[in-house]
A = this chain, B = another copy of it.
Amino acid sequence: MTANPIRVTVWNEGRHEQIHEEVRRVYPNGIHTVIADHLKTQGFITRTATFDEPEHGLTEAVLGDTDVLTWWGHMLHKQVDDAIVDRVQRRVLAGMGLIVLHSGHESKIFQRLMGTTCDLKWREADDKERVWVVKPGHPITKGLGPYFEIPSDEMYGEPFDIPEPDELVFISWFEGGEVFRSGCCYKRGNGKIFYFRPGHETYPVYYQKEVMQVITNAVYWAAPNEGASIPKERNYKIPLEPIKPK
């Protein structure tokens, strides 16, 4: 799709790993490291950024050098600086892809781009999750069978307060009796946005082959059409000369 390698920035709140032993056991160097390490093996130019870095690691320079941003957060949603949220939103509308993971559904940036609460039902248990492919020919489902299973995961249930997705690519079935729209595609401005449900800080979901296949597929899907060249921000407020028909 692009001549040059896609440049991915993997953002992680990075706090659970510091304070919760049970999370550190699964992700000793943070969720971002596991995701970024995998994406590097796929040939992407990959960096990470976390909440504790200056400007949350998302400076103008970093975003200007990013084709696709992945977002994982949970505890610190409300503390994320509004100025950084504004900046990320501007970049998405200008063409940067955004992949929102799991508890990122309540992040300011996802709420901002959706216009809704992005609220949902949940249960912390070790439900088996079966993720069904609703769109078998979609680029994001490439390489998957009819479904894949996650042996133990937190449950998310409907209703999920989001705008109707442009394309719904996954629906999850949970052992406890719930369903969830687990893979949702949106376009906002020039940017593509993908929400992907699986993944919890206490389960090794981001080590699972199918989950990483989906994130890899989503990077390709969400990358700007022209690859590295994200269009400049738009400013349409230029009065036009009236033209006369022939």
Q: Which residues of A contact B (CB under 8 A)?
A: 1, 89, 93, 95, 112-117, 119-125, 127-128, 130, 132-139, 142, 146, 151, 155, 157-161, 163-168, 171-179, 181, 186-190, 224-226, 231, 234-240, 242-246
Q: Point out which of A139, A155, A176 has the most chain B C-beta atoms below 10 A from its C-beta.
A: A176
- Shortest beta-carbon distance from A32 to chain B in Å: 25
Contact with A114, one of B115, B120, B226, B237 (Cβ below 8 angstroms): B115
Query: What are 8 inter-chain pairs, A to B, with CB distance below 8 A?
Result: A93-B116, A93-B161, A112-B112, A119-B236, A123-B240, A137-B189, A168-B181, A177-B245
- The chain B residue sitting closest to A186, CB to CB, is B163
- Shortest beta-carbon distance from A96 to chain B in Å: 11
Please, how many angstroms separate the alpha-carbon atoms of A171 and B242 in the complex? Answer: 18
Residues of B within 8 A of A114 (CB): 115
A179–B189 touching, CB < 8 Å: no
